[in-house]
């Protein structure tokens, strides 16, 4: 896969995954830091793109806000795998499914005392992270499959993580919703992401006349281009005109 050409903001919108794209993946999902150089870069890009910049994440908008330490009103946001969409400070989100509380309790009962396995509660999902205990993958997957069947929730795959969430939305649907609002409306979307959860977003931007950029090792993907890692993403973004 080729590297993308230099980034040009003319009639384009910039859509950015967070974990593994703007910040390196870490062992614990709550240990992520949105550092000062990243904040400065995003502020710069918001000016270059005249506000046509958005974070597109499996994290909730509340989680992203916490990492940055301030409301993200200067950016668009697609959170919780497309369940939440925020533009101009106005947020649309469905009611949290009651089944998620049941699933969370079951996950805590099964793994809450297991060293290295982390149960992450989100606004519209519950995730099991097993990066610190890769040998537990089969048990994690077995539990997730049982809970999905009993709860009616869907399984969302990720890097050393498996999440249960409501169906009917993904990063692709969230991007489509976002792009229907000013200042994104009528522009060409460019989406950068690293994970399997980003594939729906890559496919969506292609359909809308834009393109996706995969971060990391080359693999089968709907993205058109590739960058090696977070450092390469930040360097490429920093040269936008």
Catalytic residues: 17
- Within 8 A by CB and 6+ apart from 199, the residues are 221, 222
* Inter-residue contact 195 to 217 (CB < 8 Å): no
**Closest C-alpha among 2, 36, 4 to residue 233:** 4
**Closest C-alpha among 183, 176, 181, 240 to residue 50:** 183
- Neighbouring C-beta atoms of residue 47, cutoff 10 Å: 12
Q: What Å distances lie between residue 26 and 73, 85, 125, 161, 182, CA to CA?
A: 26, 26, 20, 12, 34
**HSE (CB half, 13 Å, CA atoms) of 192?**
27
Q: What is residue 165's three-state secondary structure?
A: strand
Question: Which residues is 188 bridged to in the sheet?
Answer: 12
The Cα–Cα gap between 145 and 143 comes to 5
* Inter-residue contact 190 to 170 (CB < 8 Å): no
């Amino acid at each position: 896969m080729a590297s993308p050409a230099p980034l040009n903001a003319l009639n384009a919108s910039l859509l950015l995954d967070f974990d593994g794209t703007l910040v390196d993946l870490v062992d614990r999902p709550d240990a992520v830091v949105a550092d000062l150089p990243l904040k400065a870069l995003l502020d710069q890009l918001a000016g270059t793109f005249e506000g046509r910049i958005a974070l597109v994440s499996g994290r909730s908008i509340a989680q992203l806000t916490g990492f940055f330490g301030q409301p993200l009103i200067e950016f668009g946001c697609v959170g919780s795998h497309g369940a939440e969409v925020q533009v101009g400070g106005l947020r649309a989100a469905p009611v949290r499914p009651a089944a998620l509380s049941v699933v969370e309790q079951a996950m805590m009962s099964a793994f809450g005392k297991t060293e290295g396995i982390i149960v992450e509660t989100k606004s519209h999902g519950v995730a099991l992270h097993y990066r610190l205990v890769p040998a537990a993958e089969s048990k994690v997957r077995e539990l997730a499959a049982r809970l999905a069947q009993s709860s009616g929730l869907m399984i969302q795959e990720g890097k050393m993580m498996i999440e249960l969430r409501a169906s009917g939305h993904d990063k692709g649907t969230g991007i489509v919703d976002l792009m229907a609002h000013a200042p994104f409306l009528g522009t060409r979307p460019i989406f950068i992401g690293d994970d399997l959860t980003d594939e729906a977003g890559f496919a969506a931007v292609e359909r809308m006349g834009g393109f996706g950029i995969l971060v990391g090792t080359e693999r089968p993907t709907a993205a058109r281009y590739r960058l090696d890692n977070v450092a390469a993403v930040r360097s490429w973004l920093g040269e936008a005109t």
